[in-house]
Structure 1
Amino acid sequence: MDTLETRELRYFVAVAEELHFGRAAERLGMAQPPLSRAIQQLERRLRVSLLERDRRGVALTDAGEVLLHEGRAALDATAAAARRARRAGGADSPGGPRGRHRLVLAVKAAASHELLRKLLDAYAAEPDAADIEVLPCGICEQGELLRDGRADVALMYTPFNSLAGFDSEELMTEGQIAILPAGHPLAARKALCLADVSDVPDLPLARWPSHGTYAPGPGPEIHDQTQLAQLIALGRTVAVVPDSARAWLWAEHIAVPLTDASPVVTHIAWPAHSRSLALAGLIRTAAQL
């Protein structure tokens, strides 16, 4: 038997993540005996051992590791399909007209203000334009939102965001700047290079998450734009960001161009398998900007 039911995958993923049948059963809101039987039935159907059980606990076999990875992706895809279908039919738009298409656009908070404004205005002028919900997100969260269906489309930035698994169109290329506390000596310079800001003892570089982890270093771990802005204003860090970040500068900040930083390319990205006509219209509008 090569087919799996969503229920079976949910059961297995819960046990594989908890590595404990009791905790997994509690998480699923069910009793432990039927959960154990369901996993045993799954192993018999697949004709492979997924879990190793002994007095010390539960461990995944090689086959179990594969099914955990693939199962998570399958459950995410199923949830994403349901979310997008509901949006396409207007079922999750309280107070709005049922049947009117809605698209969710994920954008990193405080980024691409001018580009986003132009895109939304141009698309709203198109006949049969869908409703656009702008979903502000944290640093490097756009990919996750696209994969699990919480967003239909996103603005993403290379080299910071990975476009793997998505289709995309380039919208804009810009340079980078260093944002410094207004009173710091480097803030008086007309231009800087990366070496100038990468090794300043009293002003360590802010550290950004990448794939859920932070690179080692003395600088603070940044979780959102407000935290970054405050730490710069307090003289605790310096940030290297795209030039468009000037839109959120505080009076306590100074932006200085970086002469040797790689350019940042803004992309509009969407799941490669998407067949949404409303999304196609938004992409067409974005490409014409």
Structure 2
Amino acid sequence: MELETRELRYFVAVAEELHFGRAAHRLGIAQPPLSRAIRLIERRIGVTLLERTSREVSLTPAGEVLLTEARAALNTVAAAVRHTQRAAEATPRLVLALKPGGDSDLLRPLLKGYAATAGAVRVDLVFSTGERAAMVRDGRADLALLHRPQNDLSGLDSEDLHTEEQVVVLPQGHPLATRTTVAMADLRGEPQPRWPEARPGVTGHPVTDTDQLLQLIQLGRMVAVLPGSVRDRLPPGTVSRPIEDAGPVTLVIAWRRASTSRQVAGFVRAATSATHAPHQGCAS
């Protein structure tokens, strides 16, 4: 039994909001037809997707599966449209999504290396703190610089570019600043940032860029675990200390798993070559 993209959008809205009124407002439709549409979907596929009570709406196990699959399907449709539109452009180009200050100072050599390759096209940069992976999935970007394990790489292929240890950045007068190393347990209870791309359940003070975060640390409002390369641009009044048990963070170049773009493949090859990363396979 096939479902229309409109029906998938309706279901995703309800599944994400877990509230029919909010989902209807998000979709720009009235609540009664939305409720009818969800009931029709359940009848057509023969399973219960949502548990409804007078107080709450929750997903069934089947609903959880459909939410994952529906998101992927809608992203694929959106990507197909955007890639088709891009194919009609007179000048070919690639769109690279990245986080401000999140390139470990590798962006310049990466772009220079790609520009020197045969068949290189224009590369447009799009900056985002919370939607880089989503932009690649739905076709708004061809590639993204992401961090593992912090970012969700589901539905994407990736190549490692640079791995570094993590440090904690502290206000200069913080008690932990007197130590030579810090453990993650030492940071328990400390106010920490929450990025827009944070996984569900992560709490903390919302931040949108590294400069904002460093200023908050400078003011003594929080501490933060960051890649070690941040040490080269710490403002006065802040210090960094190695974290003995935080594990490394890896900068990766990521692209849609279904991509067959030669330009994307060329960029990935140039990126891994320019950053001297181990080769692990590339877009075809």
Query: Do the structures match in fold with TM over 0.5?
Result: yes
- State the Cα distance separating 1:86 from its structure 2 match: 2.5
Distance across 2 between alignment mates of 1:31 and 1:186: 54
- State the Cα distance separating 1:154 from its structure 2 match: 1.5
Distance across 2 between alignment mates of 1:188 and 1:248: 20
User: Could you tell which deviates more after superposition, 34-43 or 177-186?
Assistant: 34-43
Seen in structure 2, the aligned counterparts of structure 1 residues 79 and 249 have a Cα distance that, compared at 3 Å, is: same
Aligned to 2:133: 143
- State the Cα distance separating 1:238 from its structure 2 match: 2.4
Q: 2:171, 2:223 within 8 Å by CA — same for their partners in 1?
A: yes
Distance across 1 between alignment mates of 2:156 and 2:261: 14
- State the Cα distance separating 1:100 from its structure 2 match: 2.2
Within the alignment, does 1:158 sit opposite 2:161 as a pair? no
2:225 to 240, 259, 265: 240
1:199 to 186, 200, 208: 186
Aligned to 1:229: 214
Q: C-alpha deviations, 1:151-196, integer Å up to 9, x for none?
A: 221222223234343221111122233322234465466xx2223x
Q: 1:80, 1:150 within 8 Å by CA — same for their partners in 2?
A: yes
Distance across 2 between alignment mates of 1:27 and 1:259: 45
Q: C-alpha deviations, 1:39-71, integer Å up to 9, x for none?
A: 566556445566788998988776555444432
1:105 to 96, 112, 123: 96
Within the alignment, does 1:84 sit opposite 2:72 as a pair? no
Seen in structure 2, the aligned counterparts of structure 1 residues 36 and 277 have a Cα distance that, compared at 3 Å, is: same
Aligned to 2:109: 118
Q: 2:160, 2:250 within 8 Å by CA — same for their partners in 1?
A: yes
Give the TM-score of the pair, scaled to structure 2. Answer: 0.75
Unaligned runs of 5+ in 1: 90-97
Within the alignment, does 1:279 sit opposite 2:264 as a pair? yes
Question: What is the DSSP-based 3-state SS (H/G/I as helix, E as strand, rest coil) of the residue aligned with 1:106?
Answer: strand
Distance across 2 between alignment mates of 1:170 and 1:22: 43
Aligned to 2:159: 169
Within the alignment, does 1:212 sit opposite 2:200 as a pair? yes
Distance across 2 between alignment mates of 1:231 and 1:29: 38
Distance across 2 between alignment mates of 1:19 and 1:162: 22
Aligned partner of 1:107: which letter?
L
Q: C-alpha deviations, 1:120-177, integer Å up to 9, x for none?
A: 11112223322222222226x4333322333221222223234343221111122233
Distance across 2 between alignment mates of 1:112 and 1:126: 21
Aligned to 1:252: 237
- State the Cα distance separating 1:19 from its structure 2 match: 6.8
Aligned partner of 1:8: which letter?
E
Distance across 1 between alignment mates of 2:32 and 2:51: 17
Larger of the two Rg values belongs to structure: 1
Q: C-alpha deviations, 1:227-271, integer Å up to 9, x for none?
A: 321221112322221121234422232334445542322221212
Distance across 1 between alignment mates of 2:41 and 2:205: 46
Question: What is the DSSP-based 3-state SS (H/G/I as helix, E as strand, rest coil) of the residue aligned with 2:106?
Answer: helix
Distance across 2 between alignment mates of 1:165 and 1:3: 22
Seen in structure 2, the aligned counterparts of structure 1 residues 269 and 12 have a Cα distance that, compared at 3 Å, is: closer
Question: What is the DSSP-based 3-state SS (H/G/I as helix, E as strand, rest coil) of the residue aligned with 1:255?
Answer: strand
Distance across 1 between alignment mates of 2:227 and 2:29: 49
Seen in structure 2, the aligned counterparts of structure 1 residues 58 and 168 have a Cα distance that, compared at 3 Å, is: closer
Aligned to 1:133: 124
- State the Cα distance separating 1:12 from its structure 2 match: 4.1
Seen in structure 2, the aligned counterparts of structure 1 residues 60 and 222 have a Cα distance that, compared at 3 Å, is: closer
Seen in structure 2, the aligned counterparts of structure 1 residues 45 and 138 have a Cα distance that, compared at 3 Å, is: same
Give the TM-score of the pair, scaled to structure 1. Answer: 0.74
Q: 1:187, 1:254 within 8 Å by CA — same for their partners in 2?
A: yes
- State the Cα distance separating 1:23 from its structure 2 match: 6.5
Distance across 2 between alignment mates of 1:286 and 1:120: 8
Identity of aligned residues (%): 51
> 1:5-154 maps to which residues of 2 (within 5 A)?
5-14=4-13, 27-29=26-28, 42=41, 45-47=44-46, 66-89=65-88, 98-138=89-129, 141-154=131-144
